[in-house]
């Protein structure tokens, strides 16, 4: 096996854990991509679009968006209606979001497939309810390798 072939196979193995597709935001520095801290959650979420309605669960949430674990992925850039069911909430919260990135299923990975969705339309009361809910949780931290 040539050195080039070995390098290509090693690179393929490194990427085998998850395939992530992102919407290019034009932001050069990764630390500048997030405007809101993310929090680990376990919430029921419903998603709707022009032709589909399905449910998933939220793995993490911020005042600016949500990661929904689901096998039913929408294309990056798609708009979806998001309904979030907060515990002890008087009613589900509704927002419109844009799929910013997807993580596809991989049988060798222990992370679920799903979509990172940024809220593009959410009323002030729904955003306040999310922020109030998140104050009770510890934020997620990520290494900046």
3-class state of residue 124 by DSSP: helix
What is the pTM assigned to this prediction?
Answer: 0.71
Q: What pLDDT sits at residue 109?
A: 83
Interval 83-113: pLDDT, tens: 999 988 889 999 999 999 999 988 888 888 9
Superfamily of domain 38-134 in CATH is predicted glycosyltransferase like domains (2.40.10.220)
Cα separation of 21 and 28, whole Å?
A: 16
Rg of the Cα atoms in the chain: 17
Is residue 114 predicted with pLDDT exceeding 70?
Answer: yes
Residue 6 has pLDDT above 70, yes or no: no
- % of residues, the chain, pLDDT over 90: 38
């Amino acid at each position: 096996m040539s050195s080039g072939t070995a390098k290509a196979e090693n690179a393929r193995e490194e990427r085998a854990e998850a395939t992530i597709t992102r919407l290019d935001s034009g932001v050069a520095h990764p630390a500048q991509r997030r405007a809101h801290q993310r929090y680990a959650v376990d919430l029921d979420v419903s998603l709707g679009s022009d032709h589909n309605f399905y449910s998933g669960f939220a793995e993490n949430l911020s005042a600016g968006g949500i990661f929904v674990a689901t096998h039913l992925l929408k294309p990056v850039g798609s708009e979806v209606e998001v309904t979030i069911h907060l515990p002890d909430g008087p009613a589900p919260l509704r927002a419109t979001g844009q799929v910013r990135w997807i993580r596809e299923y991989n049988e060798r990975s222990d992370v679920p497939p799903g979509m990172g969705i940024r809220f593009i339309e959410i009323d002030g009361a729904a955003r306040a309810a999310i922020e109030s809910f998140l104050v009770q949780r510890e934020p997620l931290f990520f290494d900046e390798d």
